[in-house]
Structure 1
Amino acid sequence: MKVEVIMPKMGESLQEGTILKWHKKPGDRVKRDEILLEISTDKVDTEIPSPADGILTEILYKENETIPVGTVIAYIETEISEVEVKTGERKEEIKVEGGREIKRGEEFPSFISEEIPVKTKRFYSPVVREIARREGISLEELEKIPGTGYGERLTKNDLLNYIEAKRKKVEVRPAVVEEVEEIKPPVAKPEFYPEGKVEIIEMSHVVKAMAEHMLRSVKTSPHVSAISECDMTEIMNFIDRYADEFQKREGFKLTLTPFIVDAVVKALKEFPLINSSVEGDKIIVKKYINIGIAVATDYGLIVPVVKNADEKNFIGLARSVNEIVMKARNKKLTPDDIQGGTFSITNYGVFGNIIGTPIINQPQVAILGVGAVKKRPVVITKDGVDYIAIRSMAFLTLSFDHRIIDGALGGRFLERVVYYLENFDFKGII
């Protein structure tokens, strides 16, 4: 029996996967749950196990090909593939549909059917099999029809053209694949460089995925950015004072990120429209808060997600942030780790940048960018008197989707994030 190997759907928004490497080749024996191939789905590499014991008989797609989820990518023949009929039990006559009798020794027409396994090295899709069965085309006849699909595979159009030509009694020609011009975004004209003065680098699948995602985002959402200044002095002093104690107790470093996540979660509860997505002419407001944290890795930028951030206290948030960041840097993320985000945070301040305008992580409607924390003189008013003091300051940028978030809403949300950071409640952390 043939068992289909399917391109799996590894996450709620993933629609396709790229084959990175086949660990087996046609003819190899495989065991159930043995690693069969590696795929890449939106920057996460995943090993796909064999669904059954047997022999890998056919690979339909090569390495580096991108295939929609749910597509059959290979076949495995299990140990028992045919029903054995004992000679002593076989009757002289066999009744078939329509009342016609087939005598022993008479050739039985091998019609293609979904229900009848047929020995053939050629792949036929379920649609082709059904058409052949309906039209009464035998396997022998089907094998002789030229195919224009991948690997000379017989396509639906090939078979329909053959049937039409057969009816008209004209010469059968392979179906011609009509060339349709693909609509692509404008591409800069190639430049001419002095010979030997440039290096051409092929994009990795990670870079390609990121490029496509960023382009789709700016085409989908009219981006607007609001920027506010935030006094991080109290938080930075707290981190400096209790960093060692926190690490000894919890086993990981205390960083700025969980403080930002905590403030964002509190602000999102007050402004739920920021925690939403757009589907056509409908706004989907999420009743849960999943925070994506942008992490720079050796293999590219990735945004793992802290799930149900609104249900965690500060220690829980800090632990979850540390866990997903470590998994990202060690390339241990699963597809589920990068799915389901409702709002994202990117901290370009770790590279010394003070201001940025981040691109929204679709299908979300906003993203917070955090600049570098820098000490500088700031005017502080206390009891009606102005003072100049050295404070640890950072610029926060909110990029938002102007289709549903106007400047007033975006501005109020950002100022609320600033408020929670500047008035952070440290109780229970140490």
Structure 2
Amino acid sequence: QPAAPAPAAEPAAPAAPAPAAQPAAPAASPAPQPVAPAAPQAPAAVAPQPTVTGSHAGPAGYVTPIVRKLANEQGVDLASVTGTGVGGRIRKQDVISAQTAPAAAAAPARPALETSPLRGTTVPMTRLRKVVAERAVVSMQSTAQLTSVVEVDVTRVARLRDKVKGRFQEATGNKLSFLPFFALAAAEALRAYPIINSTVDGDTIVYPAQENMSIAVDTERGLLTPVIRDAGEQNIAGLAAQIADLAERTRNNQLKPDELSGGTFTLTNTGSRGALFDTPVVFLPQSAILGTGIVVKRPVIISEDGSDAIAVRSMVYLALSYDHRIIDGADAARFLTAVKARLEEGAFEADLGI
């Protein structure tokens, strides 16, 4: 019977006298007495309370012993439970709901990468691979190549794209990606800085009258670069249509031979596979190639009304590889600066073509 008062006293600190009565039987072993104070539930309920913070813990960070005991029994982490009681206090029903909630909230496991059947084999190069390899080696050995990179804020382009992409697809039948914007900005800059669009012919520099833009297309057979004729005369809709058409016919092996020749400048979208930027190789007789990286949102410092602020912006890296025999670093910088300014201005409404 003396033990009965002990449970009634558990919620309060004076519960300590109950343990004091129990050691009376094993009086011969005084050593365990210092351990006895750890047994009462009242101190145990107080110690874990600081781990429950924020709205989960209620106004004073207090969780009743009954709720805490239920959470322990059900294996529920109180720090992950949102309280629905007064002031955000966690109730028994909150614990029960958390315990019965479906585990679907966890991120799905990524599918494992499949092992390629080419592993451990030896295969001859395809004809296309041989041609690309030979041209790459000749270009690297015959030119003085280097790469300049700029960082571009394309937030305004991203907003315009999000605003009109539905209407654009309805009007043209093509999805609106960032690539036509990059192509148009580059084509306009090529008109202002024709050295980037020039070709080398022996000891002479040829300045073409058109901006014939090669578009790098990744296919199962290898890399091919079909050409958009007079890219400088196109609008966004025209560029998007030609990019989509050339890419599809390139992958389906439906191109005509002349559609792969005559390019004066190349645009390669290395960001389509997630690359931040690349250092693409210039293929003769061209003198430059522009690589566009993936567009990512990240915090950057911007200036507004004379003060600096941190904002989330859509950013991209543009990498220009060029032949230093005829293009100086200042030429490359001027071209990239012009492309950057056009994209950051983002005023493409009149160029959409819809």
For the superposition of Structure 1 and Structure 2, which TM-score range results when normalised by the shorter chain? 0.5 to 0.7
Larger relative strand fraction: 1
- d(CA) in 2 for partners of 1:250 and 1:261? 18
3-state DSSP class of the match of 1:206? Answer: helix
TM-aligned CA deviation for residue 213 of structure 1: 1.2
- Counterpart check, 1:365 vs 2:294: no
Equivalent in the alignment of 2:274: 352
Task: Write the letter of the residue equivalent to 2:181.
Answer: F
Counterpart among 160, 181, 202 of residue 280 in structure 1:
202
- d(CA) in 2 for partners of 1:199 and 1:397? 35
After superposition, the C-alpha distances for 1:350-380 in whole angstroms (9 at most, x for unaligned) are: 1111021000021100000111111111000
Equivalent in the alignment of 2:260: 338
TM-aligned CA deviation for residue 317 of structure 1: 1.9
Larger Rg: 2
- Counterpart check, 1:235 vs 2:157: yes
Tell me if structure 1 keeps the 8 A contact 2:154–2:346: no
TM-aligned CA deviation for residue 234 of structure 1: 1.4
- d(CA) in 2 for partners of 1:224 and 1:245? 41
Counterpart among 297, 301, 319 of residue 219 in structure 2:
297
Equivalent in the alignment of 1:213: 135
3-state DSSP class of the match of 2:318? Answer: strand
- Counterpart check, 1:392 vs 2:314: yes
Residue segments in structure 2 that go unaligned for 5+ positions in a row: 1-118
- d(CA) in 2 for partners of 1:222 and 1:385? 43
TM-aligned CA deviation for residue 280 of structure 1: 1.7
- Counterpart check, 1:408 vs 2:324: no
Counterpart among 303, 306, 316 of residue 228 in structure 2:
306
TM-aligned CA deviation for residue 210 of structure 1: 1.0
- d(CA) in 2 for partners of 1:384 and 1:367? 37
TM-aligned CA deviation for residue 416 of structure 1: 0.8
After superposition, the C-alpha distances for 1:129-180 in whole angstroms (9 at most, x for unaligned) are: xxxxxxxxxxxxxxxxxxxxxxxxxxxxxxxxxxxxxxxxxxxxxxxxxxxx
Tell me if structure 1 keeps the 8 A contact 2:158–2:314: yes
Instruction: Name the count of aligned residue pairs.
Output: 234
Equivalent in the alignment of 1:268: 190
Task: Write the letter of the residue equivalent to 1:268.
Answer: L
Counterpart among 201, 204, 207 of residue 126 in structure 2:
204
Equivalent in the alignment of 2:71: none
- d(CA) in 2 for partners of 1:424 and 1:334? 35
- d(CA) in 1 for partners of 2:250 and 2:160? 27
In the TM superposition, 1:44-59 aligns within 5 A as none
In the TM superposition, 1:186-201 aligns within 5 A as 198-201=120-123
Which one scores higher on RCO, CA 8 angstroms, separation ≥ 6? 2
TM-aligned CA deviation for residue 316 of structure 1: 1.8
Counterpart among 145, 157, 166 of residue 244 in structure 1:
166
TM-aligned CA deviation for residue 279 of structure 1: 1.4
Compute the TM-score of the two structures, normalised by the length of structure 1: 0.53
Counterpart among 329, 334, 338 of residue 251 in structure 2:
329
TM-aligned CA deviation for residue 345 of structure 1: 0.6
TM-aligned CA deviation for residue 312 of structure 1: 2.1
Compute the TM-score of the two structures, normalised by the length of structure 2: 0.64
Tell me if structure 1 keeps the 8 A contact 2:184–2:234: no
After superposition, the C-alpha distances for 1:65-120 in whole angstroms (9 at most, x for unaligned) are: xxxxxxxxxxxxxxxxxxxxxxxxxxxxxxxxxxxxxxxxxxxxxxxxxxxxxxxx
After superposition, the C-alpha distances for 1:197-239 in whole angstroms (9 at most, x for unaligned) are: 9421211111111111111110111101000001111112222
3-state DSSP class of the match of 1:368? Answer: strand
3-state DSSP class of the match of 2:349? Answer: coil
Equivalent in the alignment of 1:225: 147
- d(CA) in 2 for partners of 1:378 and 1:328? 38
- d(CA) in 1 for partners of 2:236 and 2:294? 22
Equivalent in the alignment of 1:104: none
3-state DSSP class of the match of 1:376? Answer: strand
Task: Write the letter of the residue equivalent to 1:339.
Answer: S
- Counterpart check, 1:256 vs 2:178: yes
Task: Write the letter of the residue equivalent to 1:266.
Answer: E
3-state DSSP class of the match of 1:377? Answer: strand
After superposition, the C-alpha distances for 1:299-321 in whole angstroms (9 at most, x for unaligned) are: 11111100011222232222222
- d(CA) in 2 for partners of 1:205 and 1:420? 40
Task: Write the letter of the residue equivalent to 2:222.
Answer: G
Deviates more, 1:283-292 or 1:325-334: 325-334
- Counterpart check, 1:380 vs 2:273: no
Equivalent in the alignment of 1:26: none
Tell me if structure 1 keeps the 8 A contact 2:217–2:225: yes
- d(CA) in 2 for partners of 1:357 and 1:203? 24
